[in-house]
Structure 1
Amino acid sequence: MNNIMVLGNIVLIPGYMTDDRLWDDMVEPLQRHGGVLTFAQLDQGESMDDMAERIIKCCPPTFALLGFSMGGYIARKIVQRIPERVTSLILAATSSRADSEQQQRTKASAADAVTPHSYNGLSNVSLGYSLHQDRSRDPALLQRLKGMGQRLGYDVFVRQSRLDRNADTDLLAKIHCPTLIIAAKNDRMRSLQESEELQENIPGAELRVIENCGHMIPLEQPAKFCEEMIGWLNNR
């Protein structure tokens, strides 16, 4: 029983209006199992393609790639560009569907409604919706989420709110690296059906569903997230 798990290089891509602090509760477990972590930044770039190109410049030669929520769209763009360098792919709380017209309008309206002086992070209402219903008013979780939005600032909020999330379901069959889909049972932002569509269309993909969890899996259930991720990567 002397086998030691060495996860190796892992690139982590956060989601909409989240930054490195999204991963705070996952860093120690991943590093303890040999993970060498690269934290992708989404504070620059006018499009998801631009963001993907910027991240590629900071990636190690080969790596496992984790994309959370909006980061899942960008992760798949990276796989399309440099498939020979991505050893495995983990997609969490994400989708291959395009934003609906209503979702686009809501985000554009939110961007129009604030100014550089009035912006103070996302509202507690919108942040609460991203959490399990029972934790939607948890002050500690809300403050962690709001703090990320405040640090990223007004310009990033406007840019990310106006990004086009185009459907890429028709491209999923071209992903040939081992792929794990992680969904949250109580996610009110991304349905389980959307995760099942990813699993069904990516060859050989596996799906894990985390119970008692809303959309923000890295903050709500970091231990379970790490358990699923480390176990799967170790079996690769």
Structure 2
Amino acid sequence: MSLPQIVLIPGLLNDADLWRDQITGLADIARPRVADITRGSSLGALAEMVLATSEDRFALAGFSLGGIVAQEILRRAPERVTHLALLDTTMLPDTPERAAEREELIAQASKPGRFHGFGKKLAQSYLAPENRDNADMINRVRAMTQRLGPDVFIRQTRIARPDSRASLTGITCPTLVLCGNHDQLTPPELHRSMASLIPSADLVVLEHSGHLTPLEEPENVTDHLKRLLQRDPVRK
């Protein structure tokens, strides 16, 4: 009997290297595949691309923007998803202030010159205090942002973030909601609210992580994904 597929969706300006440790760590229990969300210009288009390149039934894990895409996939094809993990993400639309911040970031990324997708200031807000001077982590994230570049950043930043609270209550598959205790972008309280809306959700807050849990605590993220996959799926 072949192992089940788990589709891993990266976040904004992330590629497969975000999930490097989970790809290796999950190989004994599942067949990981990293989805590409760098090309579509709407949430629906991204969800349809993931669905078109996935097996009929699969487990799904989405990080940050990838978690927003994962929620859209559950709205469109809930019968295809056996297990769901939402990592460091949100179910809320942008506030006017956050929308204005995105427009400013787009304006900066549109300027000529070298694109710096992950500078020291961003590292301060993305990483836990104990990781903010970790050169290996910073360089790993910076390499992803530079590989993908400003065009992908602008396209992904412009994708509308909907209010998904009503649809979360209809998720029936085993679900993991996970974030870092020091996540400033999508803080733990947001994830507690998210988990409370999903009947089948387990909530995990990792003590030594900020927003980038798959990089900051890779073994813990892998272990919790394994526990999720070991839960019995809801039969469709």
TM-score norm. by structure 2 comes to 0.92
Q: Which amino acid aligns with 2:17?
A: R
Cα contact 1:187–1:213 (8 A) shared by 2:
yes
After superposition, where does 1:4-19 map in structure 2 within 5 Å?
A: 8-19=4-15
Q: Indicate yes or no: 2:213 matched with 1:213.
A: no
Cα contact 2:171–2:200 (8 A) shared by 1:
no
SS of the residue corresponding to residue 61 of structure 1 reads coil
TM-score norm. by structure 1 comes to 0.92
Per the TM alignment, residue 185 of structure 1 is displaced from its structure 2 partner at its CA by 1.2
Q: 2:82 maps to what in 1? A: 87
Q: 2:32 maps to what in 1? A: 37
Q: Indicate yes or no: 2:51 matched with 1:56.
A: yes
Range with bigger deviation, 199-208 or 12-21: 199-208
Alignment counterpart, residue 180 of structure 1, candidates 176, 180, 189: 176
Cα contact 1:7–1:233 (8 A) shared by 2:
no
Q: 2:20 maps to what in 1? A: 24
How far apart, in 1, do the equivalents of 2:99 and 2:132 lie?
23
Q: 2:166 maps to what in 1? A: 170
Per the TM alignment, residue 174 of structure 1 is displaced from its structure 2 partner at its CA by 1.6
Q: 2:102 maps to what in 1? A: 107
How far apart, in 1, do the equivalents of 2:33 and 2:188 lie?
28
Q: 1:232 maps to what in 2? A: 228
Alignment counterpart, residue 134 of structure 1, candidates 113, 130, 136: 130
Q: Which amino acid aligns with 2:225?
A: M
Range with bigger deviation, 47-56 or 118-127: 118-127
Q: Which runs of 5+ in 2 are unaligned?
A: none
How far apart, in 2, do the equivalents of 1:70 and 1:189 lie?
11
Per the TM alignment, residue 69 of structure 1 is displaced from its structure 2 partner at its CA by 1.0
Per the TM alignment, residue 116 of structure 1 is displaced from its structure 2 partner at its CA by 5.1
Per the TM alignment, residue 120 of structure 1 is displaced from its structure 2 partner at its CA by 3.3
SS of the residue corresponding to residue 79 of structure 2 reads coil
Q: Which runs of 5+ in 1 are unaligned?
A: 1-5
How far apart, in 1, do the equivalents of 2:105 and 2:30 lie?
37
Q: Indicate yes or no: 2:117 matched with 1:158.
A: no
Quick one: structure 1 residues 183 and 121, their matched pair in 2 at CA, closer, same or farther if it must change by over 3 Å? Answer: closer
Per the TM alignment, residue 199 of structure 1 is displaced from its structure 2 partner at its CA by 1.0
Q: Indicate yes or no: 2:70 matched with 1:75.
A: yes
Q: Among the aligned pairs, what percent are the same residue? A: 32
Quick one: structure 1 residues 116 and 45, their matched pair in 2 at CA, closer, same or farther if it must change by over 3 Å? Answer: farther
1:116-167, Cα deviation, whole Å (9 max, x unpaired) = 5332323231133111022123211111111111111111011112221111
How far apart, in 1, do the equivalents of 2:46 and 2:56 lie?
18
How far apart, in 2, do the equivalents of 1:102 and 1:16 lie?
19
Cα contact 2:174–2:228 (8 A) shared by 1:
no
